[in-house]
Structure 1
């Protein structure tokens, strides 16, 4: 069995991606990504993305951890009081035990919600891949509420970037015609690809970029399948608590 690395380095030479903000993407169709979670973090007002993988659990990046996280589900425009929205406090913040805040190794975290999300047309879970699941030649996308322009204002509506992944989508995003960017505010969101039975699958977690916007080099995603066992064991442990 091949041992795949836990971090995906997706080079901007092919994609034009840097940081954790979507620039020049497009507004997503409202509630077309019902698994998306908006994380409002602490008193500083920091935001991150995340995604619902279980009615009680959000998966996101460990570098988003702070005290007092509230999760907003079912949102398209978080600045509005949409009827579809559900605001749920986080009961337990569970970063991977080997997370390194300096290198961002093992940049993955589960959030246990204080109470179960109500599954509706606007709030649904997304599947995650098993350790040995293959994704060769697939269509993927990234979405979030991060800034929509370099040095711009906050973006309150969900935006998305669609990319085509060729060869082994774990390693290369081959889409030279798409010059989109991901930057501040979108950390923790999913790299979503079509998996088994064409179902949306969270293949990666937006982690970081090695260069700034003026010198785009590469963006790193955390490979979700590498943490399949940890995710399942953690959910089981905290569900029994």
Structure 2
């Protein structure tokens, strides 16, 4: 269990690891401590604004604790990771839009009325790490289109992609107070296969990152967007550590799930 859990890019995974490992081996005290540095990184990134990226949102508990990210693909529909919502009841989840600073009261807090999790989801390393949330209202923020089977060119190795989130700025470190962003190149399937072996499935996943590491998503960024060509192409899912050389971040390949996502939008 711990081998998979330590790879999750959500704080829920980190907290669950803490429950199954000795207290001395995992520190989660920083999970709810905001990083006060204005210019700090997602890991290796910079401050961003929801006015520039209005479709990026975050998931929070009813008490306001941010634990995952998400992407607004319709006025009342948010795409996120299945491992962010597995076992949750809709009433326990909030979606926060238009808020750069987690300590502020800016933007909108929406309740969730329905959680759809891909029916084949079992574990992030198997794939299908996709979830769609239905909100209790239509948000005014601009949405982003998502990749379909016609967008294979967006997944070419070397394509510059954007990551965003409020997660930690180092593996196991403090969560960011502010929305952060960075650009990372998509890797080839063979590169990702070399890093992760049989845990990588090119049908369900895509990888992004520099061979030398240094820039990546991390805990708390799960469910957030990987964007290229003006479209959502990936959902932050898992990885070995954060920003480690030779281990790119792994994202759910949105084009594989476009039909299922559209069905949820239409429902």
TM-score range, shorter chain: 0.7 to 0.9
Secondary structure at the counterpart of residue 226 of structure 1: helix
Contact 2:184 2:216 in 1 (8 A): no
CA shift for structure 1 position 59: 0.2
Secondary structure at the counterpart of residue 231 of structure 1: helix
Contact 2:212 2:244 in 1 (8 A): no
Instruction: Quote the Cα distance in structure 1 between the aligned partners of 2:66 and 2:110.
Output: 17
Pick the aligned partner of 2:146 from 88, 109, 128.
128
Secondary structure at the counterpart of residue 76 of structure 1: coil
Contact 1:19 1:181 in 2 (8 A): no
Instruction: Quote the Cα distance in structure 1 between the aligned partners of 2:187 and 2:120.
Output: 31
- 2:170 alignment counterpart: 149
CA shift for structure 1 position 115: 1.0
Pick the aligned partner of 1:75 from 99, 107, 110.
99
- 1:225 alignment counterpart: 255
Instruction: Summarize the alignment of residues 148-227 of structure 1 with structure 2, pairs less than 5 Å apart.
Output: 148-165=169-186, 173=208, 175-176=210-211, 179-194=214-229, 200-209=230-239, 211-213=240-242, 217-227=247-257
Instruction: Quote the Cα distance in structure 2 between the aligned partners of 1:176 and 1:208.
Output: 17
Q: Which has the higher contact order (CA 8 A, sep 6+)?
A: 1
Contact 2:206 2:251 in 1 (8 A): no
The structure where strand makes up a greater share of residues is 1
Gaps of 5+ in 1: 1-17, 195-199
Would you say 1:20 and 2:34 are equivalent positions? no
RMSD: 2.8
- 1:97 alignment counterpart: 119
Secondary structure at the counterpart of residue 186 of structure 1: coil
What TM-score do the two structures reach when normalised by structure 2? 0.69
- 1:197 alignment counterpart: none
Contact 2:227 2:233 in 1 (8 A): yes
Instruction: Quote the Cα distance in structure 1 between the aligned partners of 2:99 and 2:225.
Output: 16
Would you say 1:31 and 2:51 are equivalent positions? yes
- 2:266 alignment counterpart: 236
Equivalent residue pairs, number: 208
What TM-score do the two structures reach when normalised by structure 1? 0.76
Secondary structure at the counterpart of residue 185 of structure 1: coil
Contact 2:170 2:242 in 1 (8 A): no
Secondary structure at the counterpart of residue 111 of structure 1: strand
